[in-house]
């Protein structure tokens, strides 16, 4: 049976939510991940060091004692309300790890964002001084841009100019979803990209062609098979500019199954198995540790975990959990059940 040992991975992009959803989902990220880069798109968004610190404590309060290796890494939501002195203090104190830019209206709760990427030059100058990464949701919201071209348009219209004006600014192109995005990263040495398990393993036909699947609807939307292939190629290449960020984004079935489908794939439970299966299919399992454990840690300036996991392919299991229920009775569907049936993960003693 195929098998690989890797340092405990990090999830460099995750939505943990709050209250009873946080309580229900956090153990799924904490089970196999050391760090989680926690997105700030709550309502209201996480915008001050005090809010980040309080959110971090709420998260840690919900992590089961047996999973105390898990350490949330906090981010602040970019807007004109962001106080740069407060941000500087948060970074200095080790409470804030990065900032996240959302184009207004691009995705869940980003109606709260205000301002174009090009309006934050003062912030970007300070991020360079503080050696702190800018995390970018790269999607154009121009009404004349086709849905499937939104990432490429954002790179052309906004990110290219910011990278040219701030050549030392470290930028993470979050959940890169297209060949154009991969190409942009390769031609900009200070830009890196996170890639999700769903963008690596699915394409738009999976979403739309065999009965529309709300559980696969996310932003940026799954794109063409050729785009997915470019992402797979980047991930398995071992290139240090590409690493795992799951973008695990739980929504209750009441928000997923209806006339207005909420964007987000809940892949925290089985995201690692999905990525392992992609690497296995590419005969690249020996590169898995770079993508999920080493490359991102190097970008964010931390040593890899000293803990090790072993992943072993197995005969398909037929009974594994497929959804969870929150304390208020909401259900959330797990992504990647098919792949998870094929993999056993264990800590190496």
Question: Of ligand DOR, Zn ion, none, which one sits near residue 219, judging by CB under 5 to 8 A according to partner kind?
Answer: ligand DOR
Residue 264 interacting entry, from Zn ion, ligand DOR, none, C-beta within 5 to 8 Å by type: ligand DOR
Any contact of residue 336 with ligand DOR (CB under 6 A)?
Answer: no
Q: Is 144 a catalytic residue?
A: no
Binding ligand DOR by CB under 6 A: which of 28, 62, 100, 137? 137
Residue of the chain from 14, 15, 24, 52 that contacts ligand DOR (CB under 6 A): 15
In whole angstroms, give the CA distance from residue 267 to residue 283.
23
The rounded distance, in Å, linking the Cα atoms of 321 and 283 is: 28
From 332, 268, 348, 249, select the one nearest 31 (Cα to Cα): 268
DSSP per-residue string spanning 29-93: HHTT-SEEEE---SSS---SHHHHHHHHHHHHHHS-GGGTT-EEEEEEE-STT--HHHHHHHHHT
Question: Does residue 247 belong to the site contacting Zn ion (CB under 5 A)?
Answer: yes
Give the shortest CB-122-to-ligand DOR separation in angstroms.
25
What is the DSSP pairing of strand 323-325 with strand 331-333?
A: antiparallel
Residues in 36-65 that interact with ligand DOR by CB under 6 A: 41
Cβ atoms of 265 and 334 closer than 8 Å: no
4 SS3 class = strand
- Told to check if 11 binds Zn ion by CB under 5 A, we report no
Q: Binding of ligand DOR at residue 263 (CB under 6 A)?
A: yes
CB of 307 to Zn ion, least distance (A): 26
Q: Is the Cβ–Cβ distance between 304 and 254 less than 8 Å?
A: no
By the rule CB under 6 A, 248 interacts with ligand DOR: no
| Burial of 21 (C-beta count, 10 Å sphere; 0-12/13-18/19+) | buried
Least gap, CB of 146 to ligand DOR (angstroms): 18
Q: Pick from 49, 73, 107, 177: which binds ligand DOR (CB under 6 A)?
A: 107
Given the rule CB under 5 A, which residues bind Zn ion?
A: 247
Given the rule CB under 6 A, which residues bind ligand DOR?
A: 15, 41, 107-108, 137, 218-219, 249, 263-264
Catalytic sites, residue numbers: 247
């Amino acid at each position: 049976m195929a098998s690989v040992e890797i340092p405990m991975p990090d999830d460099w992009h995750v939505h943990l939510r709050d209250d009873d959803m946080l309580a229900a989902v956090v153990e799924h990220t904490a089970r196999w991940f050391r760090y989680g880069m926690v997105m700030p798109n709550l309502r209201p968004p996480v915008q001050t060091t005090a809010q980040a610190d309080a959110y971090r404590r709420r998260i840690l309060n919900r992590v089961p004692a047996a999973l105390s290796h898990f350490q949330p890494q906090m981010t602040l939501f970019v807007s004109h309300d962001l106080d740069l002195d407060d941000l500087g203090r948060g970074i200095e104190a080790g409470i804030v790890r990065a900032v996240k830019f959302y184009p207004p209206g691009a995705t869940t709760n980003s109606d709260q964002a205000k301002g174009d990427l090009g309006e934050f030059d003062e912030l970007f100058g300070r991020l360079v001084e503080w050696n702190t990464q800018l995390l970018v949701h790269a999607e154009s919201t121009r009404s004349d841009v086709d849905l499937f071209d939104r990432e490429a348009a954002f790179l052309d219209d906004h990110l290219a100019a910011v990278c040219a004006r701030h050549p030392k600014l470290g930028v993470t192109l979050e959940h890169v979803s297209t060949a154009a995005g991969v190409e942009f990263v390769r031609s900009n040495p200070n830009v890196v990209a996170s890639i999700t398990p769903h963008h690596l393993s699915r394409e738009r036909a999976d979403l739309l062609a065999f009965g529309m699947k709300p559980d696969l609807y996310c932003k940026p939307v799954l794109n063409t098979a050729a785009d997915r292939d470019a992402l797979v190629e980047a991930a398995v290449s071992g290139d240090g500019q590409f690493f795992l960020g799951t973008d695990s984004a739980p929504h209750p079935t009441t928000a997923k199954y209806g006339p207005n489908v909420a964007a987000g794939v809940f892949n925290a439970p089985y995201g690692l198995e999905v990525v392992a299966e992609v690497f296995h299919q590419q005969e690249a399992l020996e590169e898995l540790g770079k993508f999920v454990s080493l490359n991102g840690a190097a970008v964010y300036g931390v040593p890899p975990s000293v803990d090790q996991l072993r992943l072993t392919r197995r005969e398909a299991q037929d009974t594994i959990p497929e959804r969870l229920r929150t304390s208020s009775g909401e259900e959330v569907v797990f992504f990647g059940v098919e792949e998870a049936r094929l993999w056993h993960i264990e800590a190496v003693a």
